[in-house]
Amino acid sequence: MEIGLPQAAAGQATQMLGRLHEYVAHETPTGDSDALNAFADRLVARYGELGATARRVPSATGDHVVANLPGRGPRADDEPVLFLGHHDTVWPVGQLAGPMSWREQDGIVHGPGVFDMKGGLVVLETALELVAELGLDHRPVRIVVVADEEVGSPTARELVIAESAGVVASLGLEPPHPNGDLKTARRGSSRVRIEITGREAHAALDPGTGISAIDELLDQLITVRSLVATYDEVLCNVGTISGGGRTNVVPGIASAELGFRFVDPETERAVLDAVAGLEPVRDGAQVRVSVLSNRPAWQPSGSGGDLLAKIVTAGRSVGQQVGGRPAAGAADTNVTGSLGVPSLDGFGPRGKGAHATHEQIIAAALPERAALVAAVITTI
């Protein structure tokens, strides 16, 4: 009897857990170029084992990885399907020695990066392995794994744009919705830094000659909050504030970093333009606004619906019911989706706790997702 994808994937469950454990044990905080580059070498070697041509793409804060796997059979010359992932995590080195140590309990796997998103990397590798082992025909596969996704992919954006040219679809390996549904659209996400330059002075002897950068920053943040309040679906989070040094010195510098989320590109442009045009409240103060990273709003489209229908069919072929709906969080599929490339995200394993100390996945979701991704590779 010929073995099918679900059975073959189930036979890989233990191996998948072992590889995920290795990947989680190799901690890869965003910006730690040595750790990220060493992990990139792992990926390049692994994709090479799977028959792909892989390379590191240099970046000062950590190298990205691009791999191309040839197609097989009658579809070998078709347009490639693109998979997007990342190997950086939000966790600093040392989490494995604390409360986030790797552990498996009652079918749940805990550890930094298991959910976001080293589980997704293992899913794709296993899917490619299954396709090869079963000798299934498929179109070419292109893979881009970036090193700075968790801070908005500032160095990887142009790479993602370039590698999405000519692909039939872009599929993200990020976590799915809690019930396993795929993500059919995402809010736009921008990180903005507001920097204030004032003038230092003695806070008691000569306060009048000073210009408080902190006071100016507070007034600018109130202005931003008032601006955001005029829109129904804009989110704004002031993530960091810094400035000053001593209570007896009028502060001469201050800054804040803000995170914005947008549903549609029109609102995104209007808000970002307004923030970029902030004017000083105080005579002599200087306001500088810079966009640290930007992922444009990705809205549902007809091509996305057609793609989801194909994925639903692929899911049925391996006994899975697949659904899809928009998501609030942003990822690199924002870029491809906003360019009009048919895109879906959320092909990683089910779980919860992204960016939280209780980060976890359901162990059984690893082979389940691998079977789905293998079916997608061989059918779309």
The pLDDT assigned to 303 comes to 67
Query: Model confidence over 66-121: pLDDT tens digits?
Result: 999 999 999 999 999 999 999 999 999 999 998 899 999 999 999 999 999 999 99
Percent of the chain with pLDDT over 90: 95
Residue-averaged pLDDT of the chain = 96
Which domains are seen in the chain, by residue range? Answer: 5-186+298-379 (3.40.630.10), 188-295 (3.30.70.360)
Is the pLDDT assigned to residue 280 strictly greater than 80?
yes
Query: Model confidence over 247-272: pLDDT tens digits?
Result: 999 999 999 999 999 999 899 999 99
The pLDDT confidence band at residue 305, using thresholds 50, 70 and 90, is confident
pTM here is 0.91
C-alpha span between 59 and 311 (Å, rounded): 34
Query: Model confidence over 25-66: pLDDT tens digits?
Result: 999 999 999 999 999 999 999 999 999 999 999 999 999 999
57, two tokens: 């793409």
C-alpha span between 130 and 125 (Å, rounded): 9
Best CA proximity match to 239, nearest among 298, 190, 272, 276: 190
The count of other CB atoms within 10 Å of the CB of residue 204 is: 10
Length of the chain: 380
Best CA proximity match to 241, nearest among 216, 214, 259, 223: 214
